[in-house]
Amino acid sequence: MRRYLGQSRLTMARPGEVITVTGYAIGTVSPFGLPAPLRILMDESVLAQDELSMGSGEKGVGIIMRREDLMRAWGRLKPVALHK
Question: What residue ranges define each of the domains in the chain, with the CATH number in brackets?
Answer: 2-73 (3.90.960.10)
* Residue 84 confidence (pLDDT) above 60: no
The pLDDT score that the predictor gives to residue 81 is 63
Contacts of 24 (CB under 8 A, 6+ apart): 18, 30, 55, 57
The pLDDT score that the predictor gives to residue 9 is 94
The pLDDT score that the predictor gives to residue 63 is 93
Q: What is the pLDDT of residues 7-51, one digit of tens each?
A: 999 999 999 999 999 999 999 999 888 898 888 888 888 889 999
Smallest Cα–Cα separation from 41: which of 82, 83, 84?
82
